[in-house]
Amino acid sequence: MASISLTGKLVFITGASSGIGRSCAEQFAAAGARLLLAARRIDRLEALALELNATYGSDVYYCELDVRDRQWVAETIATLPAAWQSIDILVNNAGLSRGLDKLHSGSIDDWEEMIDTNVKGLLYVSRAVIPGMVDRNAGHVINIGSIAGRAAYPGGNVYCGSKAAVREISAGLKIDLLGTAVRVSEVDPGLVETEFSDVRFHGDRDRAKRTYTGLTPLTPDDIADIVLFCATRPAHVNLSELLVVPTDQATATQVSRRG
Ligand code: NDP
Ligand code: 8X3
């Protein structure tokens, strides 16, 4: 069965300034897609847009966006230039973890940042983008969840809860879109070496590095490859959920480290 071509498709990626989102941008660009990129660090998006244009001749529109800001999200989507309004694929990737403290000693500010970004931000973006997909009876929403959403681990409490919410939101969205041609996928990675752990440990690079010591983690390109696989299945095929772990990882807490 022929896979779907991404040539000329309009792909909106949140959190494209780093890690998995950035790799998705690169791989969709290489596949001939047009890219709508969002994140808070606009300087990085500008550099990425130039790079993708120079390398692949990509058509890229980028915007500064904090997905936690409901009004900002709504206005950004509502005021996109005409040529950038018909979004074919939404990759809800922007997200983060903060801390690894026990719940009873955790930081409420950290909790709010995770819930506001991972859950509410994903919802705001979805609410702004999906109506157009339904109107056109075409589209694909790909949510980046996590192994953390499938089982809690020590200190994961609120992050795990936020990703469990992404899992149920994805499942609910699939039900709500039944009868339309809009597809919903959730990709749940295990350990991927990105800036994720730097952010989790508030810039403690040594602690962040230890997350990946002695094992071979996934790369952001590994996840982007899978996101593109979901997006290129034939139109009647909906890959609903995918758990992707390094060979050195079995569960969130069971990993094989050497040395
Ligand atoms: P990175 O820290 O490398 O990238 C996170 C991206 O999210 C950045 O581009 C950041 O951009 C963006 N982002 C964060 N907060 C906001 C916000 N409020 N508004 C807009 N953009 C925001 O981490 P990853 O690439 O690893 O993370 C991407 C996704 O993958 C997240 O949802 C994460 O939970 C998930 N994930 C990661 C795993 C891993 O092991 N790395 C495993 C499982 C899931 P900026 O700061 O410029 O706004
Ligand atoms: C990121 C993977 O195991 O650190 O979602 O939660 S984990």
Domain limits of the chain? 10-244
Ligand 2 atom with minimal separation from the 156 CA: 6
Q: What is the pLDDT of residues 186-218, one digit of tens each?
A: 999 999 999 999 999 999 999 999 999 999 999
Point out which residues pair with 61 in neighbouring strands: 36
Ligand 1 atom with minimal separation from the 68 CA: 18
Collapsing DSSP states into helix, strand and coil, what is residue 192? strand
- Contact indicator for 155, 102 with CB cutoff of 8 Å: yes
- Contact indicator for 257, 210 with CB cutoff of 8 Å: no
Residue 1 pLDDT: 66
Q: Tell me, yes or no, if 56 is annotated catalytic.
A: no
Six-digit token pair at 240?
């609903």
Q: What is the pLDDT of residues 45-93, one digit of tens each?
A: 999 999 999 999 999 999 999 999 999 999 999 999 999 999 999 999 9
Cα(163) to centroid(ligand 2), Å: 9
At residue 259 the predicted structure's pLDDT band, cuts being 50, 70 and 90, is confident
Which helix (H) or strand (E) segment is 143 a member of?
strand 140-144
CATH number of 10-244: 3.40.50.720
Closest residue by Cα to atom 17, ligand 1, is 66
Q: What is the pLDDT of residues 108-165, one digit of tens each?
A: 999 999 999 999 999 999 999 999 999 999 999 999 999 999 999 999 999 999 999 9
In the structure, which protein residues have their CB atom closer than 6 angstroms to any atom of ligand 2?
146-148, 156, 191, 252
> Within a 13 Å sphere around the CA of 170, how many CA atoms are in the beta-carbon half?
30
Q: How far, in Å, CA of 134 to CA of 60, rounded?
A: 24
